[in-house]
Amino acid sequence: MRMSSSANNASGSQITTTVTTIVGMSLTLMLVGLLIAIGYLGYEWEKELRQEARVQVFFQRDIDPTVLSTALEILRTDPGVESCQFLDAKSTSHDLELALGESFVDFLGYVPLADVMDLRMTPKSSTTVALTVAAERIEEIPGVSEVVWQGELLGQIESTIQRLVWPLFGLALIFLFAAIALMNNTIRLTVFARRMVIKTMQLVGAHPQAIRAPFLKQGLYFGLISGGLAFASVNGILVLMHIQNKSILAPFTPTVLGAIFVILIGIGALFGVISTAIAVNRFLKKRLDTLH
Protein backbone atom coordinates (compact mmCIF):
# COMPACT_ATOMS: atom_id res chain seq x y z
CA MET A 1 0.00 0.00 0.00
CA ARG A 2 2.83 2.38 0.86
CA MET A 3 4.62 1.62 -2.41
CA SER A 4 1.38 2.18 -4.33
CA SER A 5 0.79 5.45 -2.50
CA SER A 6 4.38 6.57 -3.16
CA ALA A 7 4.08 5.67 -6.85
CA ASN A 8 0.80 7.56 -7.10
CA ASN A 9 2.38 10.61 -5.45
CA ALA A 10 5.35 10.44 -7.82
CA SER A 11 3.03 10.05 -10.81
CA GLY A 12 0.87 12.95 -9.65
CA SER A 13 3.94 15.11 -9.09
CA GLN A 14 5.26 14.28 -12.55
CA ILE A 15 1.91 15.15 -14.17
CA THR A 16 1.82 18.44 -12.27
CA THR A 17 5.38 19.23 -13.37
CA THR A 18 4.57 18.37 -17.00
CA VAL A 19 1.43 20.52 -17.04
CA THR A 20 3.24 23.42 -15.37
CA THR A 21 6.10 23.22 -17.84
CA ILE A 22 3.83 23.13 -20.89
CA VAL A 23 1.69 26.00 -19.58
CA GLY A 24 4.77 28.09 -18.79
CA MET A 25 6.34 27.45 -22.20
CA SER A 26 3.02 28.09 -23.97
CA LEU A 27 2.60 31.47 -22.28
CA THR A 28 6.17 32.37 -23.15
CA LEU A 29 5.79 31.34 -26.79
CA MET A 30 2.45 33.17 -26.95
CA LEU A 31 4.30 36.35 -25.99
CA VAL A 32 6.81 35.69 -28.78
CA GLY A 33 3.95 35.05 -31.22
CA LEU A 34 2.21 38.29 -30.26
CA LEU A 35 5.47 40.20 -30.80
CA ILE A 36 5.75 38.66 -34.28
CA ALA A 37 2.10 39.47 -35.08
CA ILE A 38 2.40 43.07 -33.88
CA GLY A 39 5.64 43.54 -35.81
CA TYR A 40 4.04 42.19 -38.98
CA LEU A 41 0.98 44.41 -38.55
CA GLY A 42 3.26 47.43 -38.11
CA TYR A 43 5.12 46.51 -41.28
CA GLU A 44 1.88 46.19 -43.28
CA TRP A 45 0.46 49.43 -41.90
CA GLU A 46 3.67 51.23 -42.80
CA LYS A 47 3.37 50.01 -46.41
CA GLU A 48 -0.27 51.11 -46.63
CA LEU A 49 0.57 54.49 -45.11
CA ARG A 50 3.38 55.06 -47.58
CA GLN A 51 1.18 54.15 -50.53
CA GLU A 52 -1.34 56.81 -49.52
CA ALA A 53 1.17 59.37 -50.78
CA ARG A 54 -0.15 59.23 -54.35
CA VAL A 55 1.53 60.61 -57.46
CA GLN A 56 -0.61 62.66 -59.87
CA VAL A 57 0.61 63.21 -63.41
CA PHE A 58 -0.94 66.23 -65.21
CA PHE A 59 -0.84 66.23 -69.00
CA GLN A 60 -0.65 69.22 -71.32
CA ARG A 61 -3.96 70.68 -72.48
CA ASP A 62 -4.98 69.90 -76.07
CA ILE A 63 -2.43 67.12 -76.13
CA ASP A 64 -2.30 64.97 -79.24
CA PRO A 65 -4.27 61.70 -78.64
CA THR A 66 -1.38 59.61 -79.94
CA VAL A 67 1.10 61.29 -77.58
CA LEU A 68 -1.37 60.87 -74.70
CA SER A 69 -1.88 57.19 -75.49
CA THR A 70 1.87 56.58 -75.57
CA ALA A 71 2.38 58.45 -72.29
CA LEU A 72 -0.39 56.46 -70.58
CA GLU A 73 1.12 53.19 -71.71
CA ILE A 74 4.55 54.22 -70.41
CA LEU A 75 3.04 55.05 -67.02
CA ARG A 76 1.05 51.80 -66.82
CA THR A 77 4.17 49.73 -67.48
CA ASP A 78 6.47 51.73 -65.21
CA PRO A 79 8.16 49.32 -62.74
CA GLY A 80 7.44 51.62 -59.79
CA VAL A 81 3.68 51.82 -60.47
CA GLU A 82 1.40 49.30 -58.76
CA SER A 83 -1.93 50.60 -60.09
CA CYS A 84 -3.20 53.68 -61.91
CA GLN A 85 -6.42 55.51 -62.76
CA PHE A 86 -6.89 57.84 -65.71
CA LEU A 87 -9.07 60.92 -65.09
CA ASP A 88 -10.34 62.33 -68.38
CA ALA A 89 -10.57 66.15 -68.39
CA LYS A 90 -13.98 66.29 -70.08
CA SER A 91 -15.55 63.71 -67.78
CA THR A 92 -14.07 65.42 -64.72
CA SER A 93 -15.37 68.81 -65.89
CA HIS A 94 -18.83 67.34 -66.46
CA ASP A 95 -18.89 65.86 -62.95
CA LEU A 96 -17.74 69.18 -61.51
CA GLU A 97 -20.48 71.04 -63.38
CA LEU A 98 -23.09 68.69 -61.96
CA ALA A 99 -21.71 69.25 -58.47
CA LEU A 100 -21.66 73.08 -58.86
CA GLY A 101 -24.99 73.26 -60.70
CA GLU A 102 -23.69 75.52 -63.47
CA SER A 103 -21.68 75.22 -66.67
CA PHE A 104 -18.37 77.03 -66.43
CA VAL A 105 -17.16 75.41 -69.65
CA ASP A 106 -19.75 77.36 -71.71
CA PHE A 107 -18.72 80.53 -69.94
CA LEU A 108 -14.97 80.03 -70.47
CA GLY A 109 -15.29 78.50 -73.91
CA TYR A 110 -12.86 75.69 -73.16
CA VAL A 111 -12.23 72.86 -70.68
CA PRO A 112 -10.06 74.38 -67.92
CA LEU A 113 -8.99 71.05 -66.47
CA ALA A 114 -6.21 68.79 -67.74
CA ASP A 115 -6.11 65.04 -68.17
CA VAL A 116 -4.66 63.41 -65.05
CA MET A 117 -3.21 59.99 -64.27
CA ASP A 118 -3.45 59.03 -60.58
CA LEU A 119 -0.64 56.61 -59.66
CA ARG A 120 -0.40 54.25 -56.70
CA MET A 121 3.23 53.32 -56.32
CA THR A 122 4.66 50.01 -55.13
CA PRO A 123 5.79 49.83 -51.46
CA LYS A 124 9.42 49.73 -52.61
CA SER A 125 8.95 52.93 -54.63
CA SER A 126 6.98 54.76 -51.90
CA THR A 127 9.95 56.45 -50.24
CA THR A 128 11.05 60.06 -50.53
CA VAL A 129 14.21 59.17 -52.45
CA ALA A 130 12.48 56.69 -54.78
CA LEU A 131 9.57 59.04 -55.52
CA THR A 132 11.94 61.92 -56.28
CA VAL A 133 13.70 59.76 -58.87
CA ALA A 134 10.36 58.49 -60.23
CA ALA A 135 8.98 62.03 -60.55
CA GLU A 136 12.04 63.15 -62.51
CA ARG A 137 11.68 60.12 -64.78
CA ILE A 138 7.97 60.75 -65.38
CA GLU A 139 8.47 64.45 -66.13
CA GLU A 140 10.63 63.48 -69.09
CA ILE A 141 7.72 61.63 -70.75
CA PRO A 142 6.44 63.59 -73.79
CA GLY A 143 3.09 65.29 -73.08
CA VAL A 144 3.53 65.45 -69.30
CA SER A 145 3.03 68.95 -67.90
CA GLU A 146 3.55 68.44 -64.16
CA VAL A 147 4.09 65.69 -61.59
CA VAL A 148 2.63 66.29 -58.13
CA TRP A 149 3.20 64.10 -55.08
CA GLN A 150 2.84 64.60 -51.34
CA GLY A 151 6.48 64.92 -50.39
CA GLU A 152 5.76 66.72 -47.11
CA LEU A 153 3.28 64.06 -45.97
CA LEU A 154 5.67 61.25 -46.87
CA GLY A 155 8.51 63.04 -45.08
CA GLN A 156 6.40 63.27 -41.92
CA ILE A 157 5.51 59.57 -42.18
CA GLU A 158 9.17 58.57 -42.54
CA SER A 159 10.21 60.85 -39.68
CA THR A 160 7.56 59.34 -37.38
CA ILE A 161 8.57 55.80 -38.33
CA GLN A 162 12.25 56.52 -37.66
CA ARG A 163 11.41 57.90 -34.21
CA LEU A 164 9.33 54.87 -33.27
CA VAL A 165 11.02 51.90 -34.92
CA TRP A 166 14.21 51.67 -32.84
CA PRO A 167 12.59 52.11 -29.38
CA LEU A 168 9.95 49.53 -30.34
CA PHE A 169 12.61 47.20 -31.72
CA GLY A 170 14.61 47.50 -28.49
CA LEU A 171 11.50 46.83 -26.40
CA ALA A 172 10.70 43.78 -28.53
CA LEU A 173 14.23 42.43 -28.00
CA ILE A 174 13.92 42.90 -24.23
CA PHE A 175 10.61 41.00 -24.19
CA LEU A 176 12.09 38.30 -26.42
CA PHE A 177 15.12 37.76 -24.17
CA ALA A 178 12.85 37.76 -21.10
CA ALA A 179 10.61 35.16 -22.75
CA ILE A 180 13.56 32.94 -23.67
CA ALA A 181 14.99 33.22 -20.14
CA LEU A 182 11.61 32.35 -18.65
CA MET A 183 11.25 29.31 -20.92
CA ASN A 184 14.80 28.16 -20.11
CA ASN A 185 14.14 28.52 -16.37
CA THR A 186 10.88 26.54 -16.66
CA ILE A 187 12.64 23.62 -18.34
CA ARG A 188 15.50 23.72 -15.84
CA LEU A 189 13.01 23.38 -12.98
CA THR A 190 11.47 20.38 -14.73
CA VAL A 191 14.87 18.68 -15.05
CA PHE A 192 15.75 19.70 -11.48
CA ALA A 193 12.74 17.76 -10.20
CA ARG A 194 14.29 14.59 -11.72
CA ARG A 195 17.92 15.28 -10.83
CA MET A 196 18.15 12.22 -8.60
CA VAL A 197 16.98 10.01 -11.49
CA ILE A 198 19.76 11.44 -13.65
CA LYS A 199 22.41 10.81 -11.01
CA THR A 200 21.10 7.29 -10.27
CA MET A 201 21.31 6.35 -13.95
CA GLN A 202 24.83 7.75 -14.07
CA LEU A 203 25.92 5.79 -10.96
CA VAL A 204 24.69 2.48 -12.40
CA GLY A 205 26.90 3.03 -15.46
CA ALA A 206 24.45 4.44 -18.03
CA HIS A 207 26.14 6.30 -20.89
CA PRO A 208 25.56 10.11 -20.79
CA GLN A 209 23.95 9.96 -24.23
CA ALA A 210 21.52 7.29 -23.01
CA ILE A 211 20.67 9.48 -20.02
CA ARG A 212 20.10 12.57 -22.16
CA ALA A 213 17.99 10.85 -24.83
CA PRO A 214 14.67 10.53 -22.92
CA PHE A 215 15.00 14.03 -21.50
CA LEU A 216 15.76 15.55 -24.92
CA LYS A 217 12.80 13.69 -26.38
CA GLN A 218 10.62 15.03 -23.59
CA GLY A 219 11.94 18.55 -24.15
CA LEU A 220 11.15 18.24 -27.86
CA TYR A 221 7.58 17.10 -27.13
CA PHE A 222 7.11 19.91 -24.61
CA GLY A 223 8.31 22.44 -27.21
CA LEU A 224 6.07 21.12 -29.98
CA ILE A 225 2.97 21.00 -27.77
CA SER A 226 3.69 24.44 -26.30
CA GLY A 227 4.27 25.92 -29.77
CA GLY A 228 0.93 24.54 -30.96
CA LEU A 229 -0.92 25.89 -27.90
CA ALA A 230 0.81 29.26 -28.26
CA PHE A 231 -0.24 29.52 -31.92
CA ALA A 232 -3.83 28.63 -30.99
CA SER A 233 -3.77 31.39 -28.34
CA VAL A 234 -2.34 33.99 -30.74
CA ASN A 235 -4.88 33.00 -33.38
CA GLY A 236 -7.68 33.32 -30.81
CA ILE A 237 -6.51 36.81 -29.83
CA LEU A 238 -6.43 37.84 -33.49
CA VAL A 239 -9.99 36.55 -33.96
CA LEU A 240 -11.16 38.56 -30.94
CA MET A 241 -9.49 41.65 -32.41
CA HIS A 242 -11.18 40.90 -35.74
CA ILE A 243 -14.59 41.04 -34.01
CA GLN A 244 -13.79 44.60 -32.93
CA ASN A 245 -12.16 45.62 -36.22
CA LYS A 246 -13.02 43.68 -39.38
CA SER A 247 -9.87 44.76 -41.24
CA ILE A 248 -7.40 43.64 -38.56
CA LEU A 249 -6.98 40.14 -40.03
CA ALA A 250 -6.67 41.31 -43.64
CA PRO A 251 -2.83 41.10 -43.67
CA PHE A 252 -2.86 37.66 -42.00
CA THR A 253 -3.22 35.39 -45.00
CA PRO A 254 -3.02 31.58 -44.59
CA THR A 255 0.63 31.80 -45.67
CA VAL A 256 1.45 34.34 -42.94
CA LEU A 257 -0.41 32.35 -40.27
CA GLY A 258 1.39 29.21 -41.45
CA ALA A 259 4.74 31.00 -41.12
CA ILE A 260 3.89 32.10 -37.55
CA PHE A 261 2.88 28.52 -36.70
CA VAL A 262 6.17 27.14 -38.06
CA ILE A 263 8.18 29.81 -36.19
CA LEU A 264 6.50 29.10 -32.85
CA ILE A 265 6.79 25.34 -33.29
CA GLY A 266 10.45 25.73 -34.33
CA ILE A 267 11.33 28.03 -31.42
CA GLY A 268 9.54 25.74 -28.95
CA ALA A 269 11.27 22.60 -30.22
CA LEU A 270 14.70 24.26 -30.50
CA PHE A 271 14.76 25.83 -27.06
CA GLY A 272 13.03 22.82 -25.52
CA VAL A 273 15.89 20.57 -26.68
CA ILE A 274 18.71 23.06 -26.03
CA SER A 275 17.52 24.06 -22.54
CA THR A 276 16.97 20.42 -21.60
CA ALA A 277 20.44 19.44 -22.83
CA ILE A 278 22.08 22.25 -20.84
CA ALA A 279 20.15 21.37 -17.67
CA VAL A 280 20.88 17.63 -17.93
CA ASN A 281 24.58 18.23 -18.57
CA ARG A 282 24.69 20.47 -15.54
CA PHE A 283 23.41 17.71 -13.24
CA LEU A 284 25.62 15.08 -14.89
CA LYS A 285 28.67 17.10 -13.86
CA LYS A 286 27.57 17.57 -10.26
CA ARG A 287 28.53 15.30 -7.37
CA LEU A 288 25.82 13.35 -5.59
CA ASP A 289 26.27 15.21 -2.28
CA THR A 290 25.62 18.60 -3.96
CA LEU A 291 22.22 17.61 -5.43
CA HIS A 292 20.27 17.87 -2.17
Q: Is the pLDDT of residue 261 over 90?
A: yes
Count of beta carbons in the 10 Å neighbourhood of residue 50? 23
User: Which has the higher per-residue pLDDT, 50 or 148?
Assistant: 148
Q: What is the DSSP letter of 88?
A: -
* Length of the chain measured in residues: 292
User: Which overall architecture, per CATH, does domain 54-149 show?
Assistant: 2-Layer Sandwich (3.30)
Residue 95: its pLDDT value, please? 57
Give the rounded percent of residues in the chain with a pLDDT score beyond 90. 7
Residue 113: its pLDDT value, please? 66
CA distance 142 to 131: 19
CA distance 27 to 230: 7
- Compute φ and ψ for 121, nearest 5 degrees: -85, 160
Residue 233: its pLDDT value, please? 92
Per-residue pLDDT band for 3 (boundaries 50, 70, 90) equals very low
Residue 100: its pLDDT value, please? 53
The mean pLDDT value for 113-121 works out to 82
Identify the top-confidence range among 197-211, 220-234, 246-260. Answer: 220-234
Give the rounded percent of residues in the chain with a pLDDT score beyond 70. 79
CA distance 162 to 23: 37
SS3 139: helix
**Is the overall model pTM greater than 0.75, yes or no?**
no
CA distance 247 to 168: 23
Residue 228: its pLDDT value, please? 92
**Sequence ranges of the chain with CATH classification 3.30.70.3040:** 54-149
Residue 93: its pLDDT value, please? 57
Residue 287: its pLDDT value, please? 60
- Range with lowest mean pLDDT among 120-129, 149-158, 268-277: 149-158
